[in-house]
Structure formats: structure tokens, C-alpha cells
Structure 1
Amino acid sequence: MFASVTLGAHAAAVDEESRGELLYTTHCIACHTTHVHWRDQRLAKDWNSLAGQVRRWQGNAGLRWDDEDIAAVTRYLNTLYYHFPAGSEEKTISMRSKAR
């Protein structure tokens, strides 16, 4: 039983990471090369500002992402480029996901 719960949680985390990558590569990569994430004047300085930029740009693009989509893309970008400690929004979303 424990193994199936652990595997289920792992599969959910992988699906969430894949979703963030899929959303980013489908909707954002055309304008955002890796250079935008490494530039000196980047606007993402911590987890919350990264999430704010994801929210801002998905709105500018008219994508209508929900909070979970924004969190998935933020998590993907953070894992790939930024490595910021999780912010309060991330902790709240993670707690909601575990409660399901």
C-alpha cells in the first residue's frame, strides 16, 4: 500500500513538471530563449517575482491560465534556471495538491 501511495505522489509530481514544461514550450519559448533567464537585468529576483512574471506574461498573451498552470510553469522555470527557495504561493499550492 505504501509503495502505491509513494508512486502515485511521484507520478503526480512528474505530471506537474511535465505540464509546466509543456505550457512553457508551447506558449512561451517562441519569444523567451534561454538568454532571457540569464540576463543581468532579469525581473525575477525570487520565487514570488518569478511567479508574478509568469502570471503577467500569460495575461499579456491572453492564455487564461489558472493558478495551477502558473505554478507549474513557475516550478518548471525555477527548476531549470533560477533555483529560488519556494515562496508562500508555492507552499500554499503544494499543500492544496497534497490534500486532493
Structure 2
Amino acid sequence: MFLSTVSFSAICLADGEDIADPIAYGEQAHKTHCYKCHSDDIYTRENRIVKSIDALSKQVDRCKDNIGIPWFDEDADAVVQFLNKKYYRF
């Protein structure tokens, strides 16, 4: 139980806490949660649905809500920043 609590707290911030490096934080959160459902191929396919930073943010929120990830807005924003830097470049 202790290990899962530590792992969980490492991936979710306390409300209002700042993220020193949102890209690195977003990458870790992505690895921890997003790879459970899909690989990187979803971001690089030719017919990808996401075509703007706003659409990317909405998609991250949909995924978060669908699988019940208890992220704060800052957590989801960090994942968006990571995905945008690595794959989308909006």
C-alpha cells in the first residue's frame, strides 16, 4: 500500500502546487497513465484527430476522465505540454 501511495503522489500534484519542469513531469505522467491504453503510434498516425493545441487539451481531458485519472488541471496541462513538444508542435 505504501508503494502505491508513493507512486500515486509522485504523479499527482497537490492542488495549487507549481511544476518546476512541466515537460518532464508531463512525460512521467504520460508514461504512468497513458501507455496503459495506447502506444505512441496514436500521435504519429496520418489520420490523427488532434489538429490544434485546444483539441489536444480536450483529448487529454477526455482520456483522463474516461479512465478516472485524478489529475489536477496542472497535471493535465503538463501532459499536453509534453505531447505538444514531442509530437504535435502546435
Calculate the TM-score normalised by the size of structure 2: 0.73
| Matched residue, 2:49 | 43
**Corresponding position: 1:17 with 2:27:** no
The one-letter amino acid of 2:63's match is W
Deviation at 1:17, TM superposition (A): 1.4
What stretches of structure 1 move > 4 A for 4+ residues in a row? Answer: none
CA–CA distance in structure 2, aligned partners of residues 40 and 49 of structure 1: 16
Q: CA-to-partner distance for each residue in 1:17-76, whole Å, 9 max, x for gaps?
A: 111011100001132212110112212101000000000001001002111111100000
Say if 1:19 and 1:72, in contact at 8 Å, map to a contact too: yes
Instruction: Note the residue ranges of structure 1 that are not aligned, 5 or more in a row.
Output: 1-10, 85-100
**Corresponding position: 1:62 with 2:68:** yes
Bigger fraction of residues in helix? 1
Task: State how many pairs are aligned.
Answer: 72
Which one scores higher on RCO, CA 8 angstroms, separation ≥ 6? 2
| Higher Rg | 1
Calculate the TM-score normalised by the size of structure 1: 0.66
